[in-house]
Structure 1
């Protein structure tokens, strides 16, 4: 198989190609050529996403709600992705924190960089973080 040559991502089509390739090799063993390629793809994807997604500076839950609106999603769509309607409702109402699994799934579904979802935020009924 010919080794692919990668360049900066300049279009949505390029982005789709790169993310598809990443999905193929995301479990490549450390030290392998595919692992090195995966690291490069992560960098290219991250750079493109940061340039394309001019996301507002809001807390993670507001950001999720904004992206849900952008894509026309309802809480039930997030619940379908995550698997638990009650937990999704608690998270969207600031009653429960996002879990790592939710961050991973919602990041992919809503095309939000995970870094934007790991920011601290206050839950309702809790003391502010100091």
Structure 2
């Protein structure tokens, strides 16, 4: 595994990305020296990205909105799950907090992970 080094700087990161990119078109066989090099580079890059470019989970309203967009669901569909159109609008506009009952229904009916729905988030100022 020649030339493998820790990724400490942005320049090191760019070097590692350049090195691993060569493997994307012709992935090495696992267990070979080149396959091991690929795995080590991928692990180093992932660790650097996790430390320097963390991606936080969306808040509950962002999660619902993204799910609706991905599945082609409307506000009316959300109203059916939550029980009323005004309630659905208030949730999406951050005027009403998502209750445990709402989170439960969204989890059961739409399959949205409960842990994404029950985290704290800010409501809009009135």
TM-score, structure 2 as length reference: 0.53
**Residue correspondence of structure 1 range 102-113 to structure 2 within 5 A:** 102-113=102-113
SS of the counterpart of 1:73?
coil
Alpha-carbon deviation of 1:107? 1.4
CA RMSD of aligned residues (A): 1.5
- Alpha-carbon separation, structure 2, partners of 1:76 and 1:110: 14
Aligned pairs, number: 71
Q: What is the CA deviation profile of residues 30-74 of structure 1, one whole-angstrom value per residue up to 9, with x for unaligned ones?
A: xxxxxxxxxxxxxxxxxxxxxxxxxx7110100100001111100
Give ranges in structure 2 of 5+ residues lacking alignment: 1-55
TM-score between the two structures when normalised by the length of structure 1: 0.51
CA–CA distance in structure 1, aligned partners of residues 100 and 118 of structure 2: 9
Partner of 1:58: 58
Describe the SS at the equivalent of 1:65.
Answer: helix
Structure 1 residue ranges (4+ consecutive) displaced by more than 3 angstroms after TM superposition: none
Larger radius of gyration: 2
Stretches of structure 1 lacking an aligned partner (at least 5 in a row): 1-55
> What's the CA shift for 1:109?
2.6
